[in-house]
């Protein structure tokens, strides 16, 4: 397959990143995952804008414009004849002799590749199990940074217990999933953590909040507690890859009747309509 390495379309093997790349040594970089449906990028401008925002927050100057990046990414999708899948893209602060402070000369390294990823029909229809885990991450979760150890440890804990996702909390307040945003429905109202420094403002999150008025679902962007989570009528997570995935079990206990809820199913269907 063809990958993007800085400004060039090269073979996967031709992409050789330096061992002193700051992304490799420090996680000093930012990334995005963009969905491809029917050969086209979904909400690409939102993802690309968020990449630029993440880069600015870590004081990384990107060596291309949004227009140039958009064009290169769609060429990449075409070259790989991708129908349904994802693009993973990242930018690091590049290679320099190891030192914590930024190098004087910026030479960011950009890579992007595509992958076939089907829509997760089964998990969207059946729902998945989740665990609750402490959110031990830093206080800039709004940045889509390569530093993901706090997320990985939580996800691994979920998988080791046979669950799909870890729902994170700080002192009993639910923030988000380890690689998704978290939502509850209570008394016909959708509740999700506000887009602060404590969560990543997901593009799927924004998309589905935008769709709520159309189906008559009231939205409250307000932090909720673990008690609210465990007594919710419906629980789901949302992300680029998982779309809207119902959570039907939490720490081994059933959510409502252990079936995807009605509002969750409605949201899935309007999201599906918006991607086609
Ligand atoms: N994860 N919160 C976190 C911590 C995430 O890692 C993600 C996405 C989201 C949802 O964001 P979006 O709707 O823009 O995908 C929320 C991506 C898919 C990943 O790391 O693979």
What tens digit of pLDDT does each residue of 178-224 get?
999 999 999 999 999 999 999 999 999 999 999 999 999 999 999 99
Residue 40 pLDDT: 98
Kindly state the percentage of the chain with pLDDT values over 70.
Answer: 100
d(CA 165, CA 237): 9
Task: Read off the pLDDT of residues 50-67 as tens digits, 9 standing for 90 and up.
Answer: 999 999 999 999 999 999
Considering the entire predicted model, what is its pTM?
A: 0.98
d(CA 33, CA 275): 16
Residue 181 pLDDT: 99
Six-digit token pair at 174?
């639910």
The ligand 1 atom at the shortest distance from the C-alpha of residue 88 is 21
ipTM above 0.95, yes or no: yes
Average pLDDT of span 230-252: 98
Which element (helix H / strand E) includes 33? strand 29-37
pLDDT at 94 over 90: yes
Average pLDDT of span 170-179: 98
pLDDT at 144 over 90: yes
The ligand 1 atom at the shortest distance from the C-alpha of residue 204 is 13
The ligand 1 atom at the shortest distance from the C-alpha of residue 176 is 2
d(CA 221, CA 231): 18
Question: What is each CA distance from 157 to 131, 150, 248, in whole angstroms?
Answer: 8, 11, 18
Dihedral sign of CA atoms 44, 47, 53, 59 in order: negative
Nearest Cα residue to atom 18 of ligand 1: 240
Residue 106 pLDDT: 86
Average pLDDT of span 8-32: 98
User: Cα of 176 to ligand 1 centre, how many Å?
Assistant: 10
Q: Is the CB of 50 under 6 A from ligand 1?
A: no
Nearest Cα residue to atom 2 of ligand 1: 180
Q: Is the CB of 151 under 6 A from ligand 1?
A: yes
User: Cα of 189 to ligand 1 centre, how many Å?
Assistant: 23
Residue 276 pLDDT: 78
Q: Is the CB of 242 under 6 A from ligand 1?
A: no
Nearest Cα residue to atom 9 of ligand 1: 180
| Residues assigned a catalytic role | 144
User: Cα of 111 to ligand 1 centre, how many Å?
Assistant: 18
Residue 41 pLDDT: 98
Average pLDDT, the chain: 98
Task: Read off the pLDDT of residues 36-49 as tens digits, 9 standing for 90 and up.
Answer: 999 999 999 999 99
Nearest Cα residue to atom 20 of ligand 1: 179
Domains of the chain: residue spans and CATH: 2-116 (3.30.470.10), 121-274 (3.20.10.10)
Beta carbons of 87 and 36 less than 8 angstroms apart: yes
Strands 165-170 and 128-134 turn out to be parallel
Residue 111 pLDDT: 98
Residue 248 pLDDT: 98
Six-digit token pair at 15?
């992409």
d(CA 113, CA 109): 14
């Amino acid at each position: 397959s063809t990958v993007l390495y800085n400004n060039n379309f090269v073979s996967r093997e031709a992409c050789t990143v330096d061992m002193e790349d700051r992304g490799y040594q420090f996680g000093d970089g930012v990334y995005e995952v963009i969905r491809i449906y029917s050969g086209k990028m979904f909400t690409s401008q939102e993802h690309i804008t968020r990449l630029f925002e993440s880069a600015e927050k870590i004081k990384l100057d990107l060596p291309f414009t949004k227009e140039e990046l958009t064009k290169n990414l769609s060429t990449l999708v075409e070259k790989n004849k991708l129908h349904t899948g994802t693009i993973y893209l990242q930018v690091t602060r590049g290679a320099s002799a190891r030192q914590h402070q930024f190098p004087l000369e910026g030479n960011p390294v950009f890579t992007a590749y595509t992958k076939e990823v089907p829509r997760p029909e089964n998990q969207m229809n059946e729902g998945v199990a989740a665990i609750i885990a402490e959110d031990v991450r830093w206080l800039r979760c709004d940045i889509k940074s390569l530093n993901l150890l706090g997320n990985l440890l939580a996800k691994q804990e979920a998988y080791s217990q046979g669950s799909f996702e870890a729902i994170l909390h700080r002192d009993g307040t639910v923030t988000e999933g380890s690689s998704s945003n978290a939502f509850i429905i209570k008394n016909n109202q959708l509740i999700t953590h506000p887009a602060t420094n404590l969560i990543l403002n997901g593009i799927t999150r924004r998309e589905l909040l935008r769709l709520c008025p159309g189906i008559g679902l009231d939205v409250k962007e307000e932090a909720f507690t673990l008690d609210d989570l465990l007594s919710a009528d419906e629980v789901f997570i949302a992300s680029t890859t998982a779309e809207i995935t119902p959570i039907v079990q939490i720490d081994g206990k059933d959510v409502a009747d252990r079936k995807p809820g009605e509002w969750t199913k409605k949201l899935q269907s309007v999201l599906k309509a918006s991607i086609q």
